[in-house]
Amino acid sequence: MTAHPTTSRFKDNAHEALGDDQLQKAMLNVRAGFIDKRAAVAAKLPEFEALRDSARDIKNHTLAHLDLYLERYEQKVIEAGGHVHWARTAEEARQIIIDLCQKSDAKIVTKGKSMISEEIALNAALSKAGITPVETDLGEYIIQLRDEAPSHIIAPAVHLNASQVESDFRRVHTHLDADRDLQEPVQLLTEARQVLRDRFLSADIGITGANFLVAETGSSIIVTNEGNGDLTQTLPKTHIVIASIEKLVPTLEDVSQILRVLARSATGQEMSVYTTFSTGPRRATDVDGPENYHVVLLDNGRSSMLGTDFQDMLRCIRCGACMNHCPVYHAVGGHAYGWVYPGPMGAVLTPTLLGVDKAGHLPNASTFCGRCESVCPVRIPLPKMMRHWREAEFSRHLTPATQRFGLAFWAFFAKRPALYKNLTPWLMSLMHLLGRDKGYLRALPLASGWTDSRDFPTPQGGTFQSLYRKQKSNGRAA
C-alpha cells in the first residue's frame, strides 16, 4: 500500500537499500530468475525480434485511434451485458469501486494482481470503507501481510527471502499448528493455497486488473501463472475489472501477436499458464461465473501523455523486462523508487503521474546503459524519455544547485574549444597519476556520493578528441 510516495527521498532510499543484506541477497535471484530465462526462450523463437516490431506497431496504431477503440470496446461490453465506468482520476476510480461494493453489501473482496489497483491505492480505500481486501497472488498476499508495496511489477515479493515469508506466515496464520514445518518454499506455497482457498469461496466481489482489453469483442484479458486471477473473477457474484485506457488492442489477432512477446519477455516462458478472455457476466446457459461484470476505465493523466514526448510510454505492457535488466534496479531493488512503478519504466512513468518535482530523482537514477530499451518487447525508448525528464527538470530549475554549478562549470569549457582541448589531457594525466596501478579511483573530490558505492575508472589512453583525430587519419591511410 503506497498512499505516501517516497520518490522524493530516492537517494536516501537507495542508500539504505545498498546496506540491506537481506535485500541484496534476494536481488541476486533476479538475474537467475529472469535474465537467463528470457534470453533462452527468445533464442528459441526466430521471429522474436520481428514480433517485437509487430507488438510496437499494434500499440502505436491503437494509441493513434484510442478514442475510437475505447468507444467500440465500451459498446461491445454493454452488448455482452457488462457495465463500463469511466474514471478521470484515482479518486474517481476508488469511489466507483467502493460504491459498487457497498451496493452489493460486500464485506470481503478478493483481488487478482493489478498494478492499477496499486496506482490508485485501492486497498487502503477499501479498508477505510469497512471492506476487507484480500490479495490472492502469492507475492501480493505476502506483501499485504507485511503492509508493503510491491517491489517489482510482476514479482511483487522479489525483495524477500523464504525465511522472511516463513516468519510472516507464522505471525499471521495463528490458527495453524505452531510446530508445523515451513522449511521448504513448497510448504509455504501449500499453506497459502489452503488459507486463500477459503477466501476465494467466501468472497463477495472479485477485483482483477487487465493485461489487455479487446475492442473487437469487449473482452478483458488477464495473464497469470497461479490461477488466482481466475478464481478471483469466477467465484464471487460480481467481477470488477480495473484497467487503464491504454490497455486497448483492436482484435484477438493483435493481442495474440503481443502475447507472444509478453510471457517471453516477462518470465521467460513460452506462454504463461493461464490467459483468460472474459466477456460480460454469466449467461443464461452458464452454471458458473459472476452474475455482474463491471469495467472501470482509468485515465489518471494518460490522455495528456498522448501527443507528447511520453506517448511511447503508453505502449508499455508491464512485463518487467526493463527492471530485470537494469543495473540500478539490481542494486537498490524496487522499494527505493518510492512508489508503485520501479525500474526504468517507473523512472519514466512516475514523474508523469506524480509530477517531476516529486519524482525527478528517478530519471536521474540511470546509467543510460540502454539495456532496458534493448529488451523492451514494445521497443519503448526508455533512456531517451528519461533524458526528456532530465531536461524538463533542468528547465524548471528543479536540479540541485551543485549539479547546476557543475554543468555550468563544464559548459564554460565546452564553449571554449581551445581551452577544453588544452586542459583535458592535463586533467587526465593527473587522474591517471592518482589512480596509478589500480586503474580506478576510490574517491574523488566533491563526488563522494558517487564514489562511496562505486569506483571511478581512471581514463585510459588519450582524450576523445585525440583518439578521434588518430582514428580519422588511420581511416584515411587505410
Partner 1 sequence: MSARADILSNIRRSLGVTGEEAPRLTNVEQRISTAPRGLSVGRSQLPRQGQIDLFKQQAESALASLTELDSYEAVPAAVADYLRSNNLPAALRIGHDPRLDGLDWGSTAIDLLHGPSDGQDMAGLNHAFSGVAETGTLVMTASAENPTTINFLPDYALVVLHEKDITGDYESMWANLRQTYGKGTMPRVVNWVTGPSRSGDIEQVILLGAHGPRRLHILMIKEQD
* Site for partner 1, residues 238 to 297, rule: CB under 8 A: 245, 250-254, 256-257, 259-260, 267, 269-283, 285-289, 297
The alpha carbon dihedral of 308, 244, 271, 215 has a sign of negative
Nearer to partner 1, 227 or 381 (CB): 227
CA distances from 56 to 50, 60, 276 (A): 10, 6, 22
**Is 180 an interacting residue with respect to partner 1 (CB under 8 A)?**
no
**Which of the residues 420 through 449 are near partner 1 (CB under 8 A)?**
none
Q: Phi, psi (5° rounding) for residue 70?
A: -65, -45
Q: What is d(CA 383, CA 170) in angstroms, rounded to the nearest whole number?
A: 43
Nearer to partner 1, 155 or 362 (CB): 155
Return the number of other C-beta atoms located less than 10 Å from residue 465's C-beta: 13
Nearer to partner 1, 314 or 365 (CB): 314
**Is 138 an interacting residue with respect to partner 1 (CB under 8 A)?**
yes
Least Å distance, CB 361 to partner 1, is 27
CA distances from 233 to 86, 140, 228, 333, 356 (A): 20, 16, 9, 31, 36
What Rg do the C-alpha atoms of the chain give, in angstroms? Answer: 25
In this structure, what C-alpha cell is assigned to residue 63? Answer: 494509441
Least Å distance, CB 380 to partner 1, is 18
Least Å distance, CB 26 to partner 1, is 7
Least Å distance, CB 84 to partner 1, is 8
Nearest alpha-carbon partner for 110 in 144, 67, 151, 66? 144
Q: What is d(CA 67, CA 449) in angstroms, rounded to the nearest whole number?
A: 47
Least Å distance, CB 345 to partner 1, is 19
**Is 43 an interacting residue with respect to partner 1 (CB under 8 A)?**
no
Return the number of other C-beta atoms located less than 10 Å from residue 467's C-beta: 11
**Is 24 an interacting residue with respect to partner 1 (CB under 8 A)?**
no
**Is 231 an interacting residue with respect to partner 1 (CB under 8 A)?**
yes
Least Å distance, CB 175 to partner 1, is 19
Nearer to partner 1, 69 or 341 (CB): 69
Angle between helices 252-266 and 36-43 in degrees, nearest 10: 130
Instruction: Find cell 495463528 and name the residue.
Output: 174
What 8-state DSSP symbol labels residue 3? S
Asked if 330 contacts 408 with a C-beta cutoff of 8 angstroms, the reply is no
**Which of the residues 158 through 177 are near partner 1 (CB under 8 A)?**
158, 160-162, 165
Asked if 136 contacts 232 with a C-beta cutoff of 8 angstroms, the reply is yes
Candidate segments 118-126, 221-229, 353-361, 457-465, binder of partner 1 by CB under 8 A: 221-229
Among 29, 364, 451, 466, binds partner 1 (CB under 8 A): 29
Nearer to partner 1, 12 or 286 (CB): 286
**Which of the residues 305 through 364 are near partner 1 (CB under 8 A)?**
305-308
Least Å distance, CB 39 to partner 1, is 15
* Strand stretches in 322-455, DSSP E: 440-441
Q: If DSSP states are collapsed to H, E and C, what string results for 123-149?
A: HHHHHHCCCEEEECCHHHHHHHHCCCC
Least Å distance, CB 341 to partner 1, is 19
**What is the phi-psi region of residue 197: left when phi exceeds 0, alpha when psi lies from -120 to 50, beta otherwise?**
alpha
Nearer to partner 1, 142 or 242 (CB): 142
DSSP letters for 300-328: TTSTTTTTSTTGGGGG-----HHHHT-HH
Least Å distance, CB 170 to partner 1, is 15
One symbol per residue from 45 to 64: x for binding partner 1 (CB under 8 A), - otherwise; what is it? xxx--xx--x---x--x--x
**Is 17 an interacting residue with respect to partner 1 (CB under 8 A)?**
no
What 8-state DSSP symbol labels residue 121? T
Q: How many residues bind partner 1 (CB under 8 A)?
A: 104
Return the number of other C-beta atoms located less than 10 Å from residue 130's C-beta: 11
**Is 303 an interacting residue with respect to partner 1 (CB under 8 A)?**
yes
Least Å distance, CB 389 to partner 1, is 19
Among 9, 15, 65, 173, binds partner 1 (CB under 8 A): 65
Among 235, 345, 356, 385, binds partner 1 (CB under 8 A): 235
**Which of the residues 185 through 214 are near partner 1 (CB under 8 A)?**
185-186, 188-190, 193, 196-197, 200-201
Among 139, 344, 360, 383, binds partner 1 (CB under 8 A): 139
Q: What is d(CA 249, CA 255) in angstroms, rounded to the nearest whole number?
A: 6
